[in-house]
Structure 1
């Protein structure tokens, strides 16, 4: 399978390769790279567009290693809370969904902001989108 995508971010490349793709081609230069990508994939070799491989190498250089993603400083519950905050739910709604008190949600929010050194809900939302915890579509 050769994936054609508009995304060059290493997260997307990693997800596709883990799902079994043999190639990842970024649309931006698809016309120029298509033949080389197809040849590589047809001969059983991996192919990753230079734009995408650049972001993978940058991750490695920044200490995220070959696994792609850095270890998250957040617990699973903090990620759940962050997702709901980023999706625009109120503290009361989050508490109800997670079966916890409003005070617990407020504590989670404070811990998340402290761990990530963020100061506003807008920054939390931006972080959640960038890290794939939520998307713009939600």
Structure 2
């Protein structure tokens, strides 16, 4: 099996040259090329695209990075892109994978983890560094905890009744007259509803009611 070629799109030269020498010793790649400017990378991708491309967040801001990955993967479907991110958000990392990257490492990832990611890509797998993986797990579990709050603390029958009237556009005064309760009681119920649903205003209440099929 022929060894793949790697292009490193990063700066400074001192770091990239050191990395390429280390990788040379691993004998995984047929050749390792360094690009320090977008023009050189564009030319290389047009004339002779490598199988592996490592892009550092030093080189492009996130919005430009999305665009570049889209352009690269649309022209070179087989290219395996590794991103070295800068403490990116979980949502941003997910978006990068959706755009077509195969591996995400963070600036604090070590060389052995870089090698693990290379091995994963050689097996046609994707790779996410431990640092980003831990943050993803925390993100998912905090989302689940957020949903548990609603299950643990559901709306009472009266609160559902008032929620529906809020969705109908009734004011606290209208609701108090309709249900024969004081305005203060209605306001207390309103506050509890906002708190339980974790929303800021009536718009959030309506959105919740529609999403949960409480109203049509």
Higher relative contact order (CA 8 A, sep 6+): 1
- Normalising by the residue count of structure 1, what TM-score does the alignment of the two structures yield? 0.45
- Normalising by the residue count of structure 2, what TM-score does the alignment of the two structures yield? 0.29
- Structure that is richer in strand per residue: 2
